[in-house]
Amino acid sequence: MLQLHQVTLRYSGAATPVLDNLSLTLPAGQSASIRGASGCGKSTLLAVIAGLAAPDKGLVQVGDHVLSDLPPRDQDAFRRQSLGLVYQQFNLLSCFNVWDNISFTARLKGNYQADYQHKLMALMNIGHLAKAPLTQLSGGEQQRVAICRALNHQPALVLADEPTGNLDEATSERVADALYTLCRETHTTLVVVTHSVEVATQADTCFRLHNGRLETLTGNGEAQ
């Protein structure tokens, strides 16, 4: 389970906080999408959830771990063990082929399983690219590689920051479908930051970040 309780964060010199007593509870295995205007703090919120940015006050808990209670070394270990991160810019390793990129984090964690990686790649329809260098991949294929890497070490929580932001509409739909499907099948909690209504509405719960707080959105996009 992911829980944020009255999280507040103010940029240095800013008159108002970017996150203002923000609270969120997301059960294990559930997905949430977060939309909002550019610069409203969506990526900052993901950084706080990941423990990469410390809030001025409030609590962030993932499973049994309260991040603020962990020393820096243990926070690093927690991220390696329990978090999967999907970036808009992919952040793949150009010196590795597809298979080695996907297996990298799982090998660091020590729970690499070839059969599980084959399954992920098949679900993402990139099994035939295992030995391919990154230079031969399209943007959509690279993003699917990045998603497989984020899930391959079987994290409890996946954070995806604009995972389809650089993709065309058709590829964006395929990648988003695969991401949500994989997380549901593996009972992985998922938080997606996106500008895309189509990507956002696939989540179990949809939010808008506005004035530092999360507003729950209805099916027609209206705040409750």
Token pair 């001025």 is found at: 56
**Model confidence over 187-210: pLDDT tens digits?**
999 999 999 999 999 999 999 999
Q: Which residues contact 58 (CB under 8 A, 6 or more apart)?
A: 4, 5, 6, 7, 8, 21, 22
Q: What is the pLDDT of residue 220?
A: 52
User: In the numeric block, which tokens belong to residue 135?
Assistant: 């230079």
Mean pLDDT of 31-43: 94
CB 22 within 8 A of CB 211: no
At residue 52, φ and ψ (nearest 5 deg) are -85, -15
Q: d(Cα 74, Cα 130) in Å, to the nearest integer? A: 33
Q: d(Cα 160, Cα 16) in Å, to the nearest integer? A: 26
Q: Report percent pLDDT > 90 for the chain.
A: 67
Read out DSSP for 138-178? Answer: -HHHHHHHHHHHHHHT--SEEEEESTTTTS-HHHHHHHHHH
Q: Which residue has the higher pLDDT, 126 or 89?
A: 126
Q: d(Cα 6, Cα 58) in Å, to the nearest integer? A: 5
pTM of the predicted protein model: 0.90
